[in-house]
Amino acid sequence: GGKYAISTTIINFNNERMQISWATRELFHNENVSFFYTFGEDKHKVWKPCTTYLLDQDYNSGCLFKTEGPTLAISIRSSNGSEELFYKKFKADFYIKPSPPENVTFFWEEDTVTVSCNKPEGNARCLRLELQYKSKFDKEWQSRKATCCSIREQGFDPRKCYSFRVRLNRLVPYCNVVNYSSDWEAETFWMNGTLLDSCDDDVPPQSETVIVLSCSLAVLLMMLILLILLCKWQRVQMSVLPAIPDPKYPLADLFNHHNGNLQEWLDKNDHVVLQTKLEYEEPESITEAESQQEDGKSSEKPRPLEKIFTFPGAAENNDSKAAEIACLIPASNTTAPFAGFHISMNDDMYVML
């Protein structure tokens, strides 16, 4: 009734307190309204003004007050209360929103769990207990309902951790005209009859020893890989860029005391004898020397071994005169002068300076 058709929301919290709200901003843009209520069936009603308003942008949009009976009448009026804008009478018992279940217990027996709670005071036949559960491998909740106030469910895997939550539902339309349910009780976590803080607790943490060993193996493996790469790199570097020997070590005296002056070093070291093995480039000379050695053995007459060698520079420069130069090698342990040097020849044809 009244001047306006106002949509209202009615909630009776566990039959203890009422909350009435309306969409005041849609109808009353610049005007604040007042709210009155009364309980009972008496013709001489005593209207009580709202003492606790709900506000929407500083405008009255609802009222909170104590539940005092099964029948309720409400009246929304102008700001000064002189003009009635809306009137409604209804059964407050048909808008009950139950409180969450109290003293919830879980009883486990193998793969079966029994969930129960205290029976609420008043009309418990209008309530249903709802149980929802899921494992950490499930994406959605599985729901079961039973009469207040116990549920028995089976088929739980003892190797899985499950999350449980329960609430109370009000029956519709026998007891309520609106499908109101209580808030969910605090969620609990169970695994094979053991209460856990969360389902993450069923995964045993790795021990410090395992962590240390894993890190050590990883470090050793990295060192081994680096060592292998280093060895391969050194082999590649040696094959591509071979090392050049430093002449200052075998000729340390030449560089340390004579500053690389070869002539000065030779003048002061005439007594030093260097042995150099001659390499024969002419196969014919080698054949001739071998034949002379065989003839000497067969005749058993000792005679000096003569070998002819040529200077490589003569062949390369195509110098006819240099090519014709041949030196007869004296007998073993014979010393011959050459270009200011004393050349010692032995049986193995080593030249000693």
Domain boundaries, the chain: 8-97, 105-196
pLDDT value of residue 82 = 82
- At the second CATH level, the architecture of 105-196 is Sandwich (2.60)
Identical fold for domains 8-97 and 105-196, yes or no, is yes
Q: What is the pTM (predicted TM-score) of this model? A: 0.54
- Each of the 353 residues of the chain gets a pLDDT tens digit; together they read 556 778 889 999 999 999 999 887 677 777 788 999 999 877 778 899 999 999 888 888 899 999 998 999 999 988 888 888 889 999 999 999 999 999 999 999 988 999 999 988 877 889 999 999 999 888 899 999 999 889 999 999 988 999 999 999 999 988 999 999 999 999 999 998 889 988 885 444 445 677 788 888 888 888 888 888 888 777 766 776 666 666 555 566 666 676 767 677 777 765 554 443 344 344 444 444 445 555 554 444 444 444 443 444 444 444 444 444 444 444 445 565 544 555 555 555 444 44
Q: What is the pLDDT of residue 83?
A: 86
SS (H, E, C) the chain: CCCCCCCEEEEEECCCEEEEEECHHHHCCCCCCEEEEEECCCCCCCCEECCEEEEECCEEEEEEEECCCCEEEEEEECCCCCCEEEEEEEEHHHHEECCCCCCCEEEEECCEEEEECCCCCCCHHHEEEEEEEEECCCCCCEEEEEECCEEEEECCCCCCCEEEEEEEEECCCCCCCCCCECCCCCCEEEECCEEECCHHHHCCCCCHHHHHHHHHHHHHHHHHHHHHHHHHHHHHHHHHCCCCCCCCCCCHHHHHHCCCCHHHHHHCCCCCCCEEECCCCCHHHHHHHHHHHHHHHHHCCCCCCCCCCCCHHHHHCCCHHHHHCCCCCCCCCEEEEECCEEEEECCCCEEEC
Q: Superfamily assignment of 8-97 in CATH?
A: Immunoglobulins (2.60.40.10)
